[in-house]
Amino acid sequence: MRHHVFVTRKIPDEGLKMLKADKRIALSVYQKNQVIPRAELLRRVKGMNIILSILTEKIDAAVMDAAGPSLKMIANYAVGFDNIDLAEAKKRGIAVTNAAHPCVSESVAEHTIALLFALAHRIVEADHFTRSGQYKGWEPELLLGGDLMGKTLGLIGTGNIGTMVARRLSGGFGIKILYTDVKRNPAFEKAFGAKFKSKEALLRESDFVSLHVPLLPATQHLMNHAAFGLMKSSAFLINTARGPIVDSAALVDALKKKQIAGAALDVFEGEPTFALKKSDATFLQHAWNVILTPHTASATVETRQAMSRTAAENILAFVRGKRPPNQI
C-alpha cells in the first residue's frame, strides 16, 4: 500500500529526502513560501493518508473532513501542537505526532539567554543608536544597562527549555534561580540551587521573568494586568513559549505605565501580527525597551533539520506499522 503524504509547506530538505527515498510514500508538497490559503489546504488534503503540518496551519475538524476517512496520521513540524484539534483526531482514530528533538530545546534556551543579555545591556537600542549616527563619542552615562551577576531569574515552567536556561545561567553568571510550576521539582532545586515560589511571589522577586510553559486553557493570558502589577518596575519579561500566554494589551499597558522595564518577545498573540489596536501595535514596534524576533528561537540550521528528520522518522515508523517515537 502506498501512503499519500501532503506537506503543508516546504521544510528543510533532510526529512523530505528520507520520505522520497521510501517507495511506500507518495509525497506532495505545497511549494510556496507562505501560509497555504485555507481553501487550497482543504482541497489539497483530499484523499491523503498523512498530513505533515506546520504550526501556522490549523488542523481541525474541517481539514479532517476534507481529507476524508483515508486520513490516518498528522505529523506536526513543531514541538507544540496547539494548532491541532487533538480531541477530534482521537475521536477519528488519527495518530498525531510532534517534532520534539533535544536540539529544539537547546536552540530555544540559547535564544532566551540571548534575549536576556540583549535586554540587560540594551544591545538592540545601542546598535540602532550607533548605526543612525547618534554616537558622537564616549560618555560616562551613555545607554547604561544592568549587570546580570547576582540578579534573580524567575522561570515559569521547568521543562527541558527552562532547565537548560537554568543550567547555563546559574553557574557561570551567579544568577539566583526562582521557579514555579504545577508541582515542585526537587531535582531542579538541587541541581541549580533554585527555590520554588508561587507565581505571585516569583513575579514580585524576579529581575527577569522567562516563560516556558505550553499554551493551555490554564496558561492563556497567564501574564495579565494583575501579573504585571506584581513585577518590579526594573524587571523584564521574556517570552519564547507561545504568544497567547501573554495578554498583549496588558503588556502594552504595563510598558506605558512603566510597571516593568521592558520585554523580549519571540512569539506574539495573533501571530504574525499583534492582537492589538493599531496605536498599541505601533507603540510596541517602536519601544526601544522591547525586543521582537519573528518566532525564530529554534531557527538554526541544526535544529530545523533535526525537526525535519524527526517528522520524517515519525511518518516512516507509522507506515511500517510501528508506533511513531513522538506520538502524542
Q: Are residues 128 and 272 in the same domain?
A: yes
Interatomic CA distance for residues 25 and 91, integer angstroms: 25
pLDDT in tens, 196-217: 999 999 999 999 999 999 999 9
How does strand 95-97 pair with strand 50-54?
A: unpaired
Q: Are residues 108 and 223 in the same domain?
A: yes
* Confidence at residue 253, expressed as pLDDT on a 0 to 100 scale: 97
* Confidence at residue 124, expressed as pLDDT on a 0 to 100 scale: 96
Overall domain count for the chain: 2
Confidence of residue 80 (pLDDT cuts 50, 70, 90): confident
Q: Is 328 part of a structural domain of the chain?
A: no
Range of the domain at 154: 103-292
pLDDT in tens, 229-259: 999 999 999 999 999 999 999 999 999 999 9
Q: Are residues 214 and 142 in the same domain?
A: yes
Cell of 293: 524576533
Q: Are residues 125 and 252 in the same domain?
A: yes
Q: Is 82 part of a structural domain of the chain?
A: yes
Interatomic CA distance for residues 292 and 129, integer angstroms: 17
Whether the CB-CB separation of 210 and 181 falls below 8 Å is answered with no
Q: Write out 173-209 in H/E/C secondary structure.
A: CCCEEEEECCCCCHHHHHHHCCEECCHHHHHHHCCEE
pLDDT in tens, 10-29: 999 999 999 999 999 999 99
Residue 117 has pLDDT above 90, yes or no: yes
pLDDT in tens, 45-55: 999 999 999 99
**Cα→Cα distances 178→72, 158, 175, Å:** 43, 10, 10
pLDDT in tens, 158-182: 999 999 999 999 988 889 999 999 9
Q: Are residues 116 and 256 in the same domain?
A: yes
Q: In a 3-state reduction of DSSP, which class is residue 265?
A: strand
CATH number at residue 146: 3.40.50.720
* Confidence at residue 174, expressed as pLDDT on a 0 to 100 scale: 86
Interatomic CA distance for residues 118 and 154, integer angstroms: 17
DSSP state of 8: S
User: Which positions are annotated as active-site residues?
Assistant: 242, 271, 295
Cell of 205: 522577586
Q: Are residues 185 and 89 in the same domain?
A: no
Q: Are residues 79 and 140 in the same domain?
A: no
Q: Are residues 191 and 71 in the same domain?
A: no
Q: Is 327 part of a structural domain of the chain?
A: no
Residue 273 has pLDDT above 90, yes or no: no
Residue 194 has pLDDT above 90, yes or no: yes
Interatomic CA distance for residues 13 and 282, integer angstroms: 37
Enumerate the H helices of 216-277 as residue ranges. 225-230, 248-256
Q: Is 120 part of a structural domain of the chain?
A: yes
Q: Are residues 232 and 210 in the same domain?
A: yes
Q: Is 326 part of a structural domain of the chain?
A: no
Q: Are residues 72 and 113 in the same domain?
A: no
* Confidence at residue 12, expressed as pLDDT on a 0 to 100 scale: 95
Q: Is the pTM of this model over 0.75?
A: yes
Residue 314 has pLDDT above 90, yes or no: yes
**Cα→Cα distances 135→58, 126, 127, 216, 252, Å:** 47, 9, 10, 46, 29
**What is the C-alpha R_g of the chain?**
22
Q: Give the mean pLDDT of 39-61.
A: 96
Q: Is 285 part of a structural domain of the chain?
A: yes
Q: Are residues 154 and 201 in the same domain?
A: yes
Q: Round the average pLDDT of the chain to a whole number and report it.
A: 95
Q: Is 297 part of a structural domain of the chain?
A: no
Confidence of residue 272 (pLDDT cuts 50, 70, 90): confident
Q: Are residues 233 and 116 in the same domain?
A: yes
Q: Is 324 part of a structural domain of the chain?
A: no
